[in-house]
């Protein structure tokens, strides 16, 4: 039987670049009406930090101290990008979406490749995991149009990173992945708790299976 060729990595990069670019161009004419309620709260926070005199009589934004710790990693990332587009936060969000779409596809592909060791399965799984799913608790999994580029989506995009660091690293196997998980959890701390529990469970299961395997030798 003829062996199926692996998916070239350049093709994975090109494919995800096309996906990211497609969503970017599709959303170039987006307005505030295309945003989710989370983003409709975050952008005014960014504007308030830029200009503290804004929203002085608003119940939510009158005092910047009430919101300055709201997902600061995400807010500051968005503010940084906005500096290059004349503080147009819809454009900044679209650029952030371009980056997030690309990183989402690449990192999940690499993670699935480590799990399955068959590039076509990894490639297909990295596409499927993009699909929007609404699990119980009002969470959102997956990535799509501009309204999905929320803090939790950035966290999901980088969630495979601790696993990849762990599998590629030969020394300090726990410290660096743990630090990376802590850093990306700053994008969405509530999701970070779930990510920590997931990784801790996986690590305990992995150590248990390793000890059983070594005990049989």
Q: Over the stretch 13-60, which tens digit does the pLDDT of each residue have? A: 999 999 999 999 999 999 999 999 889 989 999 999 998 888 888 888
In a domain, 203, yes or no: yes
For residue 161, give Cα distances in angstroms to 51, 75, 98, 110, 210: 35, 21, 19, 9, 22
In a domain, 211, yes or no: yes
In a domain, 200, yes or no: yes
In this prediction, residues 192-215 reach a mean pLDDT of: 78
4: pLDDT confidence band, cut at 50, 70 and 90? Answer: low
In a domain, 2, yes or no: no
Contact 48, 126 (CB under 8 A): no
In a domain, 133, yes or no: yes
In a domain, 188, yes or no: yes
Count structural domains, the chain.
1
In a domain, 121, yes or no: yes
Q: Which residues, other chains included, contact 146 with Cβ-Cβ below 8 Å and sequence gap of 6+?
A: 23, 27, 30, 34, 35, 39, 90, 93, 94, 97
198: pLDDT confidence band, cut at 50, 70 and 90? Answer: confident
Q: Is the pLDDT of residue 1 over 60?
A: no
pLDDT digits (tens, 9 = 90+) for 171-189: 667 888 889 999 999 888 8
103 versus 197: the higher-pLDDT residue is 103
For residue 159, the enclosing domain spans 9-215
pLDDT digits (tens, 9 = 90+) for 112-139: 998 888 899 999 999 999 998 887 766 7
In a domain, 167, yes or no: yes
């Amino acid at each position: 039987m003829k062996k199926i060729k692996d998916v070239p990595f350049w093709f994975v990069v090109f494919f995800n670049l096309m996906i990211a670019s497609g969503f970017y161009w599709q959303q170039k004419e987006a307005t505030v009406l295309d945003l989710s309620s989370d983003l409709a709260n975050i952008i005014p926070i960014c504007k308030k930090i830029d200009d503290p005199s804004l929203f002085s009589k608003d119940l939510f934004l009158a005092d910047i101290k009430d919101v300055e710790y709201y997902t600061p990693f995400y807010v500051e990332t968005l503010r940084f990008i906005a500096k290059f587009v004349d503080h147009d936060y819809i454009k900044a969000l679209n650029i952030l979406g371009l980056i997030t779409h690309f990183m989402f596809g690449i990192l999940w592909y690499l993670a699935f490749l480590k799990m399955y060791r068959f590039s076509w399965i990894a490639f297909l799984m990295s596409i499927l995991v993009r699909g929007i799913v609404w699990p119980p608790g009002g969470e959102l999994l997956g990535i799509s149009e501009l309204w999905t580029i929320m803090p939790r989506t950035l966290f999901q995009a980088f969630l495979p990173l601790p696993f990849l660091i762990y599998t590629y690293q030969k020394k300090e196997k726990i410290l660096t992945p743990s630090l990376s998980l802590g850093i990306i959890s700053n994008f969405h701390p509530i999701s970070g708790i779930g990510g920590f529990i997931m990784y801790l469970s996986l690590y305990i299961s992995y150590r248990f299976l390793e000890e059983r395997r070594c005990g049989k030798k």
